[in-house]
Copies of this chain bind each other. A is one copy, B any other.
Amino acid sequence: MHAARYELLKTDEKTKARRGRLTTPHGAIETPVFMPVGTAATVKAMKPEDVAKAGAEIILSNTYHLYLRPGADVVEKAGGLHTFMNWDGAILTDSGGFQVFSLGDLRKISEEGVSFRSHIDGSSHMMTPETCVDIQNALGADIIMAFDECTPYPADRDYVKNSLERTTRWLERCKAHHKDVERQSLFGIMQGGVYADLRIQSAKEIVEMDLPGYAIGGLSVGEPKPLMYEILDSCVDYLPPDKPRYLMGVGSPDCLFEGVERGIDMFDCVLPTRVARNGMAITSQGNLNIKNAKFEYDYTALDPECDCYTCKNYSRAYLRHLFKADEILSAMLLTTHNITFLLNIMSNIRKAIAGNRFQSYKKEFFEKYEVKQNADTCTEGSAGL
């Protein structure tokens, strides 16, 4: 019995959108779900119970970051990540592959794994499928990710093909090395860049390993959004319907809708937390830059339609003041809003699928929400360095 079990509750009548439930040792997760990112064992600028209050049932944390600091042993001796960070809900740890490959010149790939230098202190390390599983076993998340190479965009077809085949071999090694499947579920990661046939090849190879879940990696790394949607269209059906599908590193409202429509169940992204710290609020009217002078005397809520803690209690004028005065409360309040806003979208999407209203809800949402003009490429990414 795998730690995480997926139940498909309902498929939308007009699209591939799915309503499901993923049961983990730390509770059930209603899908489609957005997972807030807590890179270094904290969703930046939020107390964990406020993350739960915002509606989160699962968060993501980063193997690479925690391995380097504070070290997997520090977390393990605390009793694992849940205890260490005071989060009772489910946790997914990414494999560190994305971060290691983001290191560029600081890393070197071989069949064995990747040798790299720490971005913190320059120290030398080697990560292999086996050590990656060992670290994630020590961290103790409910869902752990296979060690993969996240190929960049653009990338040469031969490179992508060789890479995805090595990712498959690494997945075999991860699976062989991971023992306690009742405590932690290992998800495989599909690669293949923007080549539909390679995506299908990768999907077939990883699905053969009969894992409790499958991720789609290597998208949202700089390719145009229409191309990402096209690739999703070409490969999602090769993933089994009775397992959860996780589109890694995606989290802007438009991409969430497009992903759900194509049959995706799980998403994560640093976008809502990162832009919050830069004074950007994601609202039902589109993105709002709180620094803007026009908000100086604006005593209305950030988003008049939002019921989050921030929108119920603070004005744009106050939030602008906090940001300009470089106050920590600015990051706290904007992060709370952005996380709540995305989780509310997902909750509405789930209700819409249940009621066969997914497309009408999507239409209604985008009648008000203005997609940022320069956001037509996917560069939101996962938690980089």
Contacts and interface: CB of A to CB of B under 8 A. Distances in A.
Interface of A: 40-42, 44-47, 65, 69-70, 74, 77-78, 84-86, 296-297, 299, 313-315, 317-318, 320-322, 324-325, 327-329, 331-332
A70 B320 contact: yes
A324 B41 CA distance: 13
5 contacts: A44-B327, A65-B325, A74-B297, A74-B317, A86-B318
Nearest to A70: B321
Contact of A318 (B41, B46, B315, B317): B41
Contacts of A44: 327-329
A327 B69 CA distance: 12
Given A44-B329, A45-B332, 12 more contacts: A40-B325, A41-B318, A42-B327, A69-B321, A70-B324, A74-B296, A74-B297, A77-B297, A78-B299, A84-B315, A86-B318, A328-B328
Which of A41, A42, A65, A69 lies at the interface centre, i.e. has the most chain B CB atoms within 10 A of its CB? A42
Nearest to A277: B328
A327 B74 contact: no
A65 B322 CA distance: 12
B84 A318 contact: yes
Contacts of A328: 44-45, 328, 331-332
Contacts of A84: 315, 317-318
A40 B319 CA distance: 12
A322 B86 contact: no
A334 B93 CA distance: 27
Contacts of A324: 69-70
Contacts of A315: 78, 84
Contact of A321 (B41, B299, B331): B41
Contacts of A70: 296, 317, 320-321, 324-325
Nearest to A336: B47
Contact of A329 (B47, B69, B296, B329): B47
B47 A318 contact: no
B47 A78 contact: no
Nearest to A325: B40
Q: Which 4 A-B pairs have the closest CB atoms?
A: A70-B321, A45-B328, A40-B325, A42-B329
Contacts of A332: 45, 47, 328, 332
Nearest to A335: B328
Nearest to A79: B299
B318 A78 contact: yes
Contacts of A297: 74, 77
A136 to B, nearest CB: 18
Given A70-B296, A296-B70, A325-B69, A78 B46 contact: no
Nearest to A49: B313
Nearest to A296: B74
A74 B40 contact: no
A74 to B, nearest CB: 6
A149 B65 CA distance: 51
A140 to B, nearest CB: 14
Contacts of A322: 40, 42
Contacts of A325: 40, 65, 69-70
Which of A44, A314, A324, A327 lies at the interface centre, i.e. has the most chain B CB atoms within 10 A of its CB? A327
A44 to B, nearest CB: 6
Which of A86, A328, A329 lies at the interface centre, i.e. has the most chain B CB atoms within 10 A of its CB? A329
B329 A77 contact: no
A324 B42 CA distance: 13
A321 B67 CA distance: 12
Nearest to A65: B325
